Amino acid sequence: MGDDHTITRRLALAGIGAALVPACKREWLPPEADPTSRSQIKPYVPGAEDYATYEERWFASSCAQCAAACGIRVRVVEGRAVRIEGNPANPLNRGGIGARGMSGLQALYDPDRIAGPLLRIGGRLVPISWDDALSTLAKALADVRGRAPEQLLVISGRERGFTHELLARLARAFGTPNFVDGSPGHTAPLAHAMEQAVGVREAPAYGWSHASAIFSLEAGLLEDSCRSIYFARVAAAMRRDSARRARLIHAGPVFDLAAYNADRWLQLRPGTSGALALGVCHVLLREGTYDRGLVDRARGLTEFRALVVGFTPERTAELTGLPAAAIVELAHELWDRRPVLAVVDERSLAFSNAVETAGAAIALSALLGAIENGDGGLRLAPEPPLAPWPEIVIDEVARRALETPRLDGATRAPYGASRAVLDTLPAAILARPPSVALLYHANPVYARAQPRRWREALEAIPLVVSFSPYVDETVAEVADLVLPDHTYLERVEDATPAPGLPRAVAGIRRPVVAPLHDTRATADVIIELAHRLGKPIARAFSWPTARDAFEQRWLGLHAAARGTIVEASPRAFLERLYEAGFWADVDDASPRAVEFTFSPTWAPPHWDGEPARFPLALLPYRPLGYAEGSGANQPWLRSLRSRPGLADWTVAASIAPHDAPPGIKDGDLLRVISPYGALVLPAHLDRRMASGCVAIPTGGGHTAFGRWARNVGVNVMELLSATPASDTGASLLCTTRVRVEAA
Amino acid sequence: MNRALVCLLVLAACKRAPSIPEQPIAFNHALHLTVELDGKRLGCVVCHAGAERAEHAGLPALRDCLRCHMRPQLGTSGKPNPREAEVRALAASGPLRWTQITRNPGHVYASHRAHVGIAKIPCEECHGDVATWTSPPTEPIQKLRHMDACLSCHRQRGASTSCGTCHR
Amino acid sequence: MSIRRWFIELLDTPTTPSRRAFLRGSAAVGAAAALPSTASAAIPKRRRHWGMVIDLDRCSACNACGVACRQENNIPSYDSDPEMHGARPEWMSMLWQEPERANANPELLPMPCMHCADPPCVKVCPVGATYKDPDGITMQVWDRCIGCRYCMVACPYSRRSFNWKEPAWSKSELQMLNPDVATRPLGVVEKCTFCHHRVQRLREEAALAGREPTDAELQRLPACAAACPANAITFGDLDDDESEVAKLASGTRAFRLLEHLGTEPSVYYLKKDRG
């Protein structure tokens, strides 16, 4: 009995051993099938075959995730982009890069990207070929041109860049005046104020080499601004690397990152930073401590003095909520620390008094001797010497059509100083719908004030074309034809930065990977369309491809024979340009002589909504990582906390505890009601919040834009009054009053 | 009961590995290692470019083959080899995608740079006598199938046996 | 001998053909029998004490470091499900701390793993998945971790994350994973490694050139330090008196977190110089 059992046991063990031997011998399984390997098997990607396995290459290019256009280096392994880092050689960012820059990988590899052209048939978007898509559009455009060219509406969501310029060129050659720069809210008021002051219509650059203070006038310096990377670098360098440690003084209503980083935070009422600037000017003029050189030669000084005399510290204290003594102290400190960077940006100018505030800030810089001063302050943004494209010759059809009044009412009263006005468009479109609309880098059915109006308006247009690479709200709900663009890591393009460094920099973008999908660069699509439309439009687009068009501009840099790339032959120059990722002047621009004009105006911010029914001021803000508002499909950006104390992946209403309805605790749901809509979202009780305000970040409440954009908060744009700034027609974020209730 | 065990044994022994797909080109190492360029034999790094300086030695891209085979190469017989035309055909028809046979799990870091570049271990020591291979390998490198093999060599040579050196 | 010790020794015991052959079949016998040639490994053996200094005066709390870390180390975002609040892995966090005094401002601190010289996490790990590397990095071996999370309890800085879900990337998102860092499965604790893979690569490349890495090469080596636009994070060898980190760490503004616990962190902060 016992022997039998022993034999059985031994056989059993041998059997188990034998069964295990083949298993343990690790037969070859294709790695994809081997569940234990976790060897990061990556699906085939176009272009991988040009690489040896595991081969690594680096490419220099420029970021396109915000208008700063920082220089980047991209690590590509086997045809896949796996890392984006800052380019240490690029003077804009010197190797630093922000969260948004690195999230470019998620923009490229978004799993919900549009894979090819789409046409709306029977209510659904259906894939079609490029040839069919372009024929459809060319036919529609030819038809419009035959009837009434002004019936083409083009909305471009960029402010600068060759693709944006090609769209403008198309609009002009075609003969439509309705080319709408879709982001006038960004720099139009500041550019206008600069034009009034120094005659150059462009936002200023900032020199800082010997400045020992940054005075932020409600600027979203380290968050919202497209110069946030630049300022992070500059502020850090000014603190540690200069002989006299610089101070950051931030005046603003909310405890945001600028307030957190400031050496001194002056909490003032929203929209009153212009008054503060004028109050400081008052003290400087009264005490005779101001830079005489520029000021005594300036125009409008008498009127300016007349305005400023009323901004006594006491009156300024009433307007801003700051103590009068603090204002005097501030004036002394700024004078003592000159030159000073007095900064206003998109957040400072989100109020109806945008131009007045900008004017006051620039005037303050003038008094402090910080205009075109080599040691620091506002500088005229130098432009790289790009060659121009050939002039367009427009035919009679275009000439006549270009004279028709613009749909958006720009350049005419009351928006006399505007180039484009977005907020008037929905009503204008409904009144006289254009036949075709081209939307480039624009998602108005989400991102503009009162998105529902935009949906209605765009639905009235028979053919709405979007170039978006993603299914955003505009594509999902109203677009009839989608011609998806490459992402910026797949295309050749320029990267002209928003003004920041007082040095000319011309960045470029180049493909770092083969296109992942059947997409095409919008610039190439525009040129192809122009060719299909035939003369006379095609004559304005005589280049075979966009790359040829761009290289024609870049050869201006070659001809200038200066800067970081100097080569004898154009071919060699372009090769080195692609390799370097940018061209720049070697030094900061030398200061130029300027004639300064003071503009003596002031207005308090205007708020839409009766104060009795809507007692609180709504302060929507673009949170950290949201720059222009896109990026909802990039989960790394969702991991950023919008403000100190806020959680990630949420949209909350920040409010002072005494302004919240009784019984509301942190995290409880709040209903925020404006004259235009209502939203429910969690409350964030912030004891540092200014009285009488509610702050809500943009970027939440997406109903499209892919899997990562869902489930995150509400869209504050639904609450906003769509009242543009007078004069410049800029879109403004902070013009609406609300009330709050427990939800 | 015993019969059941015998059946189990037989079944276990019959268990076979799935067949390994063929490579796009039946590369002959032995032949290529007899070739001389400027009086020197082809080194491993000519095709496996990362063998000394990178983590992975890498398998060549088609452009590496085409450096020589863009024009017909005559063998020792003086006549063109019909198999060689396959390389040019591949250039016209489509991508060269090797089937990777040896692949470490993702958490293993076995750096050629450290072993070949720094420790100067000859390729044959781990990969076997490559000069005798007339067709591509069909099995993963047997010597390095288990961590014990790595560890015993590391201990012999006094190289690091800290987990983090090889695992990531 | 404690069970824990026994378990670790079992995994670390040098190969003996008889035992291993039984457990793993014949293949290992052949492998163990193959004796290598006599050339010796030549990676320089200079001992280091890797450390980091974070200058809070320069730091603007922009969180570029956090995102750089996510990119470098393939940290999963899981999905946009609100249920995942607070449960997503994060290695470099921006700690927001309310002050004790009523009218003072909060502090925002970028916090990587402290790489303590006397780490509580290493003491409690039952399987030796976390240990102290001779160069000062507190290593985490993903494949040894059994997910008991004692280390998470033990860490006074809460710098360890757990994979509550199996990270799943779409086919498209798989493409962008960093091939130098393994992904971790469900049930494994993960944390900052001071970008050990980058340190290793730099040391190897320097060794190829017959030298050690220079301090300049080390200063912005980890992903967080490389990305920081304000140049607030510096990395290097705390034992090298000439290094930037050693100089900064011995300055008057330098402090460490929770020093009274005796964990001896290798991450120093420089106090804000608010004037």
- CATH number for position C66: 3.30.70.20
> Are residues C174 and C240 both part of a single domain?
yes
How would residue A328 be classed by pLDDT, with cut points 50, 70 and 90? Answer: very high
Q: pLDDT band at B144, cuts 50/70/90?
A: confident
Where exactly are the structural domains of chain B?
19-59+98-166
Is the Cβ pair C183, B157 closer than 8 Å?
no
Choose, out of C139, C145, C177, C212, the residue to mutate when testing the contact with B (most B CBs < 10 Å). Answer: C139
Are residues C182 and C72 both part of a single domain? Answer: yes
The predicted structure's pLDDT at residue C24: 37
Is the CB of B5 less than 8 angstroms away from the CB of A8? yes
Q: Which pLDDT score, from 0 to 100, does residue C102 have?
A: 75
Beta bridge partners of residue C110, listed in sequence order: C94
- Chain C residues within 8 A of B151 when measuring between CB atoms: 14-15
| Neighboring chains of C (3 or more beta-carbon pairs < 8 A) | A, B
Inspect the interface and report whether the beta carbons of C176 and A82 lie closer than 8 Å: yes
Reported as a single tens digit per residue, the pLDDT across A603-633 is 999 999 999 999 999 999 988 877 666 788 9
Chain B residues interacting with chain C (CB cutoff of 8 angstroms): 52-53, 55, 106-107, 109, 111, 113-114, 117-122, 125, 142-146, 148-149, 151-153, 155-160, 162-165, 167-168
Task: In whole angstroms, give the CA distance from residue A545 to residue C233.
Answer: 44
By C-alpha distance, which of A410, A394, A523, A396 is closest to A178?
A410
- The CA-CA-CA angle for residues A395, A398, A403, to 5°, reads 130
Q: What is the pLDDT of residues C159-178, one digit of tens each?
A: 999 999 988 888 899 999 99
Cβ of C71 within 8 Å of Cβ of A232? The answer is no
> A45 and C70 in contact by Cβ < 8 A?
no
Residues 6+ apart with CB under 8 A from C47: C134, C135, C239
Summarize pLDDT for B28-82 with one digit per residue, the tens.
Answer: 899 888 887 777 888 888 899 999 999 999 899 888 888 888 888 776 677 777 7
Kindly tell me if the per-residue pLDDT of A161 is higher than 70: yes
DSSP E strands in A128-269: the ranges are 152-156, 179-181, 205-207, 213-217, 247-251, 264-266
Q: Following DSSP, what letter does each residue of C20-76 receive, concatenated?
A: HHHHH-THHHHHHH----SPPP--------EEEEEETTT-----HHHHHHHHHHT--
Residues 6+ apart with CB under 8 A from A589: A379, A380, A382, A502, A503, A504
Domains in chain C, number: 2
Which ipTM did the prediction report? Answer: 0.90
Q: Are C247 and C164 within one domain?
A: yes
pLDDT grade for C23, boundaries at 50, 70 and 90: very low
In a domain, C38, yes or no: no
DSSP state of A708: G
User: Is residue C181 one of the residues assigned to a domain?
Assistant: yes
Q: What is the mean pLDDT of chain B?
A: 82
Q: How far is it, in rounded angstroms, from Cα B81 to Cα A205?
A: 66
pLDDT (average), residues A533-560? 96
- Tell me the chain B residues in contact with residue A48 when contact means C-beta distances shorter than 8 Å: 95
Give SS3 for C11: helix
Residue A15 has its nearest CB partner, among B5, B104, B139, at B5
**Residue of A537, A593, A229 lying closest to A392 (CA atoms):** A537
d(CA A226, CA A64): 11
Residues 6+ apart with CB under 8 A from B78: none
**Higher pLDDT among residues A461 and C18, named by residue:** A461
Question: Residue C37: which of B55, B114, B125 has the nearest Cβ?
Answer: B125
- First-to-last C-alpha distance (Å) of chain C: 58
Q: Is any Cβ of chain A less than 8 angstroms from the Cβ of B140?
A: yes
Between chains, do A707 and C80 touch, taking CB under 8 Å as contact?
Answer: yes
Mind spelling out the 3-state secondary structure of A66-93?
Answer: CCCCCEEEEEEECCEEEEEEECCCCCCC
Smallest Cα–Cα separation from C193: which of C215, C226, C224, C220? C224
Q: Are residues C127 and C27 in the same domain?
A: no
A350 vs A370: CA distance, rounded Å = 24
How would you class B8 by CB atoms within 10 Å of its CB: exposed for 0-12, middle for 13-18, buried for 19 or more? middle
Contact call for A709 and C80, based on CB within 8 A:
yes
**What average pLDDT does range C75-87 have in this prediction?**
83
Cα C100 vs. chain centroid, distance in angstroms? 31
C41 at the B interface (CB within 8 A)?
yes
Neighbouring CB atoms inside 10 A of A387's CB total 15
Residue C136 domain flag: yes
Domain match, C164 and C259 both: yes
Residue whose token pair is 């110089």: C273
- Tens of pLDDT along A232-282? 888 888 887 767 888 999 999 999 989 999 999 999 999 999 999 999 999
- Interface residue of A49, A75, A82 to substitute, partner B, most B CBs within 10 Å: A49
Is C173 found in the same domain as C214? yes
Question: Both C117 and C215 in a single domain?
Answer: yes
* pLDDT above 90 for A588: yes
pTM: 0.90
Q: Are A356 and A604 in contact (CB under 8 A)?
A: no
Rounded distance, CA C144 to CA A383, Å? 57
A357-401 pLDDT, tens digit per residue, is: 999 999 999 999 999 988 889 999 999 999 999 999 999 999 999
Instruction: Please give the angle made by the CA atoms of A241, A243 and A249, to the nearest 5 degrees.
Output: 80
Element (H, E) at C234: strand C233-237
The minimal CB distance from C36 to the residues B157, B163, B165 is found for B157
- Please check the confidence at residue C227 and state whether its pLDDT lies above 80: yes
Q: Is A48 on the interface with C (CB under 8 A)?
A: no
Instruction: Please report, as a single letter, which amino acid is at residue A56.
Output: E
pLDDT at C218 over 50: yes
**Distance, first Cα to last Cα, chain A:** 80
Closest CA to A205 of A384, A415, A75, A14: A384
Rounded to a whole number of angstroms, the distance between the first and last alpha carbons of chain B is 47
**Are residue C109 and residue C29 in the same domain, yes or no?**
no
Q: CB contact, 8 Å: A282 with chain C? A: no
Main-chain dihedrals φ then ψ at residue C67, nearest 5 degrees: -75, -35
Q: Do C14 and B118 touch (CB under 8 A)?
A: no
pLDDT per residue over A402-431, tens digit each? 999 999 999 998 999 888 999 999 999 999
Kindly state whether residues C27 and C78 are assigned to the same domain. Answer: no
Please tell me which residue, A189 or A3, carries the higher pLDDT value: A189
Q: What are the chain A neighbours of B58 within 8 Å (beta carbons)?
A: 52-55
Does residue C239 lie within any of the structural domains? Answer: yes
Separation of alpha carbons B96 and A53, rounded Å: 11
Query: Which residues make beta-bridge pairs with C161?
Result: C190
* Nearest-Cα residue of chain C relative to residue B120: C39
Q: In a 3-state reduction of DSSP, which class is residue B92?
A: helix
CA-to-CA dists, residue A440 to A189, A266, A459, angstroms: 23, 40, 17
Whether the CB of B99 is below 8 Å from some CB of chain A: the reply is yes
Instruction: Please report whether residue C149 resides in a domain.
Output: yes
The chain-wide mean pLDDT, for chain A, equals: 91
Interface test with B, best of A28, A77, A82 (most B CBs within 10 A): A28
Q: Is the residue at C275 inside a domain?
A: no
- Cβ of C41 within 8 Å of Cβ of B159? The answer is yes
Sheet of strand C267-270, all strands in order from the earlier edge strand to the far edge = C233-237, C50-55, C267-270, C254-255
**What integer pLDDT is reported at residue A413 of this predicted model?**
87
Host domain of residue C124: 50-270
Over residues A73-85, the pLDDT tens digits come to: 999 999 999 999 9
Are C25 and C78 part of one and the same domain? no
Q: Is A152 buried (19+), middle (13-18) or exposed (0-12) by CB count in 10 A? A: buried
Q: What is the CA angle A241-A243-A246, rounded to 5?
A: 75
Nearest to B58 among A14, A39, A52 (CB): A52
Note the pLDDT of residue C31: 36
Same domain, C191 and C237: yes
